[in-house]
Amino acid sequence: MCRRRVHPGARFRPCRARQRIVEAAIGLLDTAGEGALTFRALAERLATGPGAIYWHITGKDELLHAATDAVVTTTLTADTADTTPQQAIRTLALGVFDAIDAHPWIGTQLARAPGQSPMLRVFEHLGRQVQALGVPHTAQFTAASALLNYILGVGGQNAANARGHQPDTNRTEFLNTVSAAWAHLDPDEYPFTRNVADQLRDHDDRTEFLAGIDLILTGITTHQQSTEPTPP
């Protein structure tokens, strides 16, 4: 919510000022991470003083919340009105996955504040589609939670893997190295891992992510069918 008073040193309107601050914070978080997000660094980016920022944002926690909410809100704007609940869930899940990939700090913020609005927005959208699937009320929380935990867990892990590459190593080189290491593991201790080493090298992160969503959706619908009463 924007304050209506205008700071004497402000050069733009309060609502626009807050938006610019949040946008600058997102840029700083993307390039340097949460540790680099200070009001002094933000003031340098905006060519203003820290006091002008405090006029619109009370502290770092509020700033992180506003930045997270801005990214999540953009993610949830996809039009799913004419799609099936399954496809709507896939679209939402992939949107959050891509958002975490583009803004790795998002995953941490969502997991850190499960009771705040950014997380609740995602949970609410998932829950509506779970309801549209016809999942019984007693199973809706479990189904929506399973989807949410998978999305945040895999999305966060994917972002962490991307950041874990050596600066001079791209994704293909990294996967080739890990795949080769898997292929040379002890065959008695790691028979399965050795057997899928080639699949690790050739896999696509987004494709594998959506395959996992489909597995969960299949489990939800299969469980629902198994618990429905048999017609007389």
Span 67-105, pLDDT tens digits: 999 999 988 887 777 899 999 999 999 999 999 999 999
pLDDT digits (tens, 9 = 90+) for 191-218: 999 999 999 988 899 999 999 999 999 9
Instruction: Kindly tell me the sign of the dihedral angle through the C-alpha atoms of 142, 148, 151, 153.
Output: negative
- Which of 12-16, 23-27, 34-38, 115-119 bottoms out in mean pLDDT, i.e. has the lowest? 12-16
User: Which residue would you say has higher pLDDT here, 114 or 183?
Assistant: 183
Where does the chain show beta strands of DSSP type E? none
Q: And the tokens for 197?
A: 């080493």
Residue 49 one-letter amino acid: G
Place of tokens 């770092």: 60
CA distances from 37 to 18, 61, 110, 194 (A): 16, 11, 17, 42
Q: What is the pLDDT of residue 116?
A: 79
Q: Domains (ranges, CATH) in the chain?
A: 14-58 (1.10.10.60), 79-226 (1.10.357.10)
